[in-house]
Structure 1
Amino acid sequence: MKIGIMQPYFFPYIGYWQLVNAVDIFVVYDDVNYIKNGWINRNKILVNGSEHYVTLPLQNMSPFKKINEICVTDNNLAKNKLLKTIEQNYKKAKYFEQIMPMVESAVCKCGNNLSNIVVNSINEVCSYLGITTKIILSSFLDKKKETTAQETIISLVKSLGGDFYYNAIGGKSLYDKEEFLKNGISLSFIKTMQVYYKQFGNFFVPNLSVIDVLMFNSPLEISNMLKCYELE
């Protein structure tokens, strides 16, 4: 059983989806502390040929709160500004008509809880791309807090019956393969290879939100991108 665990991110880049697609069970780690200026409620899109941050506006955010304790602002003007930015910059994209309603639904129709909004967007993208991985919220799991983050992950993977744990390449400095093996778990890191696709201009801007990928590519084309990684 292959397990992946990541915090909920706002329409994350293609590497996140490669991880989701590669495992049998994907745990959305929503009961850890919110990180300011991370990817939980913001990402990058294409604006005038360059990367540009868009942010899901929050209220009463704090690094002392868990992700699932934080709410998105109920200010519709702030939400509409975010959606307008996306609409204005992608309305001529090939798949705009299919994708924009998905983004609007995620931002406006899932209540105000940040975790619920992001997890719903994950489920919607998975459904659109035909990803059948089981998605679980960590806050719904009966787990015990271990001494270190690595021990907590090992315990969580074992509780789910996992014998393989896949992590993004950024976790390579955090986790020790030998420690995982001592617990009967094979640890691998997904290293995303560069994917290219036609945007508006001739110059390609990489590593943007999956919104950008979805706007310019069919589900079949994206399915092929999901396989563009190496295991280390």
Structure 2
Amino acid sequence: MQPALIPWGGFFSLAMNVDLLVILDVVNFSKGGAQNRFFMNHKGQKVTYTVPVYHKHVDSKLIKDIEIRTDKYPKNLVSRLRIDFPAKKIINHEVLENIIQIINYKYTKLVQLNVSLIKESLRSLGIQVEMIMASSLENSDTMYETPVDRLIDILEITSGTDYIMPSRSLDYAQPLINKFWNKGCKTYSISYEQKEYPSNTNFIPNLSVLDLMLHADKSEWLSLIQASSTLRQIK
């Protein structure tokens, strides 16, 4: 999975179903994508929160090499979060403060921030899973000739036997599925559609998991994520 900024619940539903979570930091950064922004429900509107990055040649850079612009960050983001989600409007204020503490840390690389926020979210949710960076694997600079080859190599290096992919990847994943099958690897897809949870205004599905953790009771977090996901074997 790519290291999104405080990802949606679907990321964590996948994390709940694997023994090893490989963070794909060796793919190109997607300008305008989820790597440096996340979405929350503010006054009934889907609102974007962004970490600014340097834009020069950004589309040709790998996620692991993207640098954070620190001229206005983190002050602006922290200020917006505290104004938009005051303690009296949310039921889990300590969750927001833990996230803000990480945002306030002086990270220079976006992937460092994203991984720290993912780890904090996993900890808060009570999900225990081993997580490694694709860039830390042997031959990470040479093993990625195509997206399919990249995933095959990761599977072999980590001695994986099963592979779970988001259902939205199925449109282009058939060559990958066939190769995994030929290597004796079972392939699964996981779909996610967020079940409704309480909010101060109208419910908006599939936002950052932070929105769920700020508004839903802690005892319901994992059950909400589980109820929102469907895992099925493809081949």
Normalised to the residue count of structure 1, the TM-score between the two structures is 0.91
Shift of 1:110: 4.9
CA contact (8 A) 2:38 2:208 kept: yes
- In structure 2, the residue matched to 1:3 is none
CA RMSD of aligned residues (A): 1.5
Task: Work out the CA distance in 2 between the residues paired with 1:118 and 1:7.
Answer: 10
Q: 1:74 aligns with which of 66, 70, 90?
A: 70
**Which has the larger displacement, 59-68 or 12-21?**
59-68
Aligned to 1:205: 204
Tell me how far apart the structure 1 counterparts of residues 109 and 54 of structure 2 sit (CA, whole Å).
10
Q: Aligned equivalents of 2:108 and 2:222: distance in 1? A: 31
Match of 2:119 among 106, 110, 123: 123
Cα shift at 1:39: 0.3
Most deviating of 133-142 and 216-225 = 216-225
Match of 2:16 among 12, 16, 21: 21
- Indicate the SS of the match to 1:135: strand
* Aligned counterpart in structure 2 of residue 167 of structure 1, from 151, 165, 168: 165
State yes or no: 1:89 paired with 2:84. Answer: yes
Letter in 2 for 1:194: Q
User: How many pairs were matched up?
Assistant: 224
- C-alpha contact (below 8 Å) 1:9/1:40 kept by paired residues: yes
Query: What is the TM-score normalised by the length of structure 2?
Result: 0.90
Deviation at 1:155, TM superposition (A): 1.8
* 1:146–1:54 CA distance, 2 compared to 1 (3 A): closer
- State the SS of the aligned residue for 1:111: coil
CA distance in structure 2 between the partners assigned to 1:106 and 1:170 by the alignment:
30
CA distance in 1, matches of 2:144, 2:77: 39
Task: Name stretches of at least 5 consecutive residues in structure 1 with no aligned partner.
Answer: 1-5
1:230 alignment partner AA:
T
Is the Cα–Cα contact under 8 Å of residues 150 and 174 in structure 1 kept in the other structure? no
Deviations 1:79-112 (A, max 9, x none): 222122222222111112x112222123221521
Give me the whole-angstrom Cα distance separating, in 2, the residues matched to 1:146 and 1:90.
42
1:183 is matched with 183
Amino acid in structure 2 at the alignment position of 1:23: V
Q: Report the counterpart of residue 11 of structure 1 in structure 2.
A: 6
Which amino acid in 2 is paired with 1:132? Q
- Secondary structure of 2:132's aligned partner: strand
Please give the per-residue CA displacement for 1:107-161, whole angstroms capped at 9, x wherever unaligned: 2215211111100111111111111100101111114425421122022112111
Corresponding residue for residue 37 of structure 2: 42
Say if 2:3 and 2:23, in contact at 8 Å, map to a contact too.
Answer: yes
Which amino acid letter does the alignment assign opposite residue 111 of structure 1?
A: Y
Residues 9 and 194, structure 2, Cα contact 8 Å, conserved in 1? no
Question: Once the two structures are superposed, what CA deviation does each residue of 1:10-48 show, in whole Å capped at 9, x if it has no partner?
Answer: 011110110111100001111221110110000111122
Offset at residue 221 of structure 1 (A): 1.0
Distance 2:209 2:179 in 1: 33
Structure 2 gap ranges (5+):
none
Q: Offset of 1:186 from its aligned partner?
A: 1.0
SS in 2 for 1:8: coil
Q: Is the 8 A contact 1:60 1:71 kept in 2?
A: no
The alpha carbon displacement at 1:218 in A equals: 3.4
